[in-house]
């Protein structure tokens, strides 16, 4: 019998789907992380970070997990917390959709909403999480931005899956860059198998990866991707180039994916596919694999809501 002992054992082994209606040459392929049990790629790192914390004695039975998140990592940690008996508290910036906050609460997470500010602001969701972790006895903060179990999880799972699923024929790997773990870990594995593979980072307009630390850093509407500082979990040397994608392009691609491919994803997924489409169109003889990080069900009040789009000046 094939019976899993817990929901955590169903994480990973997500499918590759050819986006041939979006791009007729057929060389654009999406890795759909929405098929993970909590609906996103972040479940991979949640298990890895908690496994390591338990092994290191940093998280004891009955302890508390505290993490700043735009939603998806929080859901992953909530799955672990539910199965292993941990209390989970997540701080989230107020730009995070209501659906994603409600989803966290549905899993039993205590959600603390903070203003959308820079990382050094005392009211930021980063600062709020750090304060809670210090104040609560037995609390542990995984800190996905600095925890090397983040990229390690993708080195051990995402990268090998892509290599095996394509029979080693992948030419380009495209992913959005937030903490950088998803792209860096998988890229390190893929580069070990094939040094000439191209690694492309998709980045929202206004983020540090394309603007640089002294560039025009500004807020954007796409959630869960881009940064205003360089996390320790990103390996910039392994990324061959970045492609900047603005909010309008990201949201328009979300709509196209749903209507033309039946693929429902959020703004960061739309952003990644928009960048990957550019790459796939440049060289149609290369197999381009793009990681689509989550489901669009957490964005129905935003990306898929005509009134919200119109209110914020997006004509898609």
> Among all residues, which ones are annotated catalytic?
42
Q: Which of 107, 116, 102, 111 is nearest to 297 (CA)?
A: 102
Which residues are CB-contacts of 78 (< 8 A; sequence separation ≥ 6)?
38, 88, 90, 104, 107, 108, 109
Q: Which tokens in the block code for residue 256?
A: 């196209």
Residues composing the chain: 316
What is the CB neighbour count within 10 angstroms for residue 295? 21
Q: What angle do CA 131, 137, 140 make, to 5 degrees?
A: 65
Rounded Cα distance, 97 and 39, in Å: 15
Q: Which of 72, 63, 64, 74 is nearest to 111 (CA)?
A: 74
Rounded Cα distance, 81 and 132, in Å: 17
Which residues are CB-contacts of 57 (< 8 A; sequence separation ≥ 6)?
none
């Amino acid at each position: 019998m094939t019976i899993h002992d817990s929901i955590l054992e169903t994480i990973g082994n997500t499918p590759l789907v050819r986006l041939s209606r979006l791009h007729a040459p057929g060389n654009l392929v999406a890795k759909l992380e929405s098929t993970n049990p909590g609906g996103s790629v972040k479940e991979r790192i949640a298990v890895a970070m908690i496994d390591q914390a338990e092994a290191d004695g940093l998280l004891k039975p009955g302890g508390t997990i505290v993490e700043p998140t735009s939603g998806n990592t929080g859901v992953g940690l909530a799955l672990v917390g539910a199965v292993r008996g941990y209390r989970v508290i997540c701080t989230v910036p107020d730009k995070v959709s209501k659906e994603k906050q409600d989803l966290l609460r549905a899993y039993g997470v205590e959600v603390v909403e903070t203003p959308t500010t820079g990382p050094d602001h005392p009211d930021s969701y980063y600062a709020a999480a750090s304060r809670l972790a210090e104040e609560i006895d037995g609390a542990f903060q995984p800190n996905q931005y600095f925890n090397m179990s983040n990229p390690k999880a993708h080195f051990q799972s995402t990268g090998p899956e892509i290599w095996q699923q394509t029979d080693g024929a992948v030419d380009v790997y495209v992913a959005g860059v937030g903490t950088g773990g998803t792209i860096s870990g998988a890229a390190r594995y893929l580069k070990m198998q094939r040094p000439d593979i191209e690694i492309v980072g998709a980045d929202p307009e206004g983020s540090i990866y394309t603007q640089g630390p002294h560039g025009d850093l500004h807020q954007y509407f796409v959630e869960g991707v881009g940064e205003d500082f360089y996390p320790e979990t990103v390996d910039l040397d392994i990324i061959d180039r970045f492609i900047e994608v603005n909010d309008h392009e990201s949201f328009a691609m979300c709509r196209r994916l749903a209507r033309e491919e039946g693929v429902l994803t959020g703004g960061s997924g739309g952003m990644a596919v928009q960048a990957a489409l550019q790459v796939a169109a440049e060289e149609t003889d290369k197999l381009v694999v793009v990681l689509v990080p989550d489901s669009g069900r957490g964005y129905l009040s935003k990306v898929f809501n005509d009134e919200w789009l119109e209110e914020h000046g997006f004509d898609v």
